[in-house]
Amino acid sequence: MADWLAVAELSELSRRKKKQVEVAGEPVALFLVGSQVFALADTCIHKQRSLSKGVLLNGCVVCPGHQWEFDPATGYEATQDRYQPSYDIRVEDGTVFVSTRPRENPQELREALTAGSSTS
């Protein structure tokens, strides 16, 4: 089992909606979308730019390097079958906890979310 690491207070995300933190020596980008917090590896898989320097637009994380658009929930890029590593998140009493290891099967998560949205 992966451990949980307290990395930020929820209130720190309220204005900019994003924050770079460190998890197990790796930079991780937190994003607040609506009332939900998501965590992606901060270093873009494309050209190693920092996603936390990008923007949240229409529910997507847009990388500042070359405008790749990632789904903050799964890490998948909008038009390509590639994904940014993503982390599980837990929020307790206003503190954000990140799993110390990235998810192993983001494709399963994406399938589950796709199935959920098509039936709702």
Partner 1 sequence: MTTFAIVGAGQTAAVATRTLRRRGFDGRIEVIGAEPYPPYQRPPLTKEYLAGGDDDLFLLDEKWCAANDVHLRLGQRAVRVRPSEWAVELADGSQVRADKVLIATGGAARHLPGVRGDRVHYLRTLDDATKLRELISPGVRLIVIGAGFIGSEVAATAHRKGADVTVIDTLDAPMQRVLGRELGAVCAAIHRGNGVAVRLGEPVESVVEHADAVIVTTAGARLEGDYVVVGVGITPNIEVAQRSGVTVDNGVLVDEYCRTNVPNIFAAGDIANHYHPLFDELIRVEHFDNANKQAAAAANNMLGNPTIFDDPHWFWSDQYDVNIQHTGHARTWDELVIRGSVDELDFCAFYLRDGRIRAAFAVDRGADVAMAKELISGRVLVNAHHLKDESIDLSELLETEQAW
Residues 87/4, Cβ–Cβ less than 8 Å: no
Binding letters toward partner 1, positions 72-111, x by CB under 8 A: -------x--------------------------------
Least distance CB 3 / partner 1 (angstroms): 32
Site string for partner 1, 1-30 (x = CB under 8 A): ---------------x--------------
Write out the E strands in the chain: 4-9, 18-23, 26-33, 36-41, 55-57, 60-62, 69-70, 86-87, 89-92, 95-99
Find where tokens 């020596």 sit.
25
Q: Which stretch binds partner 1 (CB under 8 A): 6-14, 31-39, 65-73, 86-94?
A: 65-73
92: three-class secondary structure by DSSP: strand
- Please give the residue ranges that form the binding site for partner 1 (CB under 8 A): 16, 47, 49, 53-55, 57, 62-67, 79
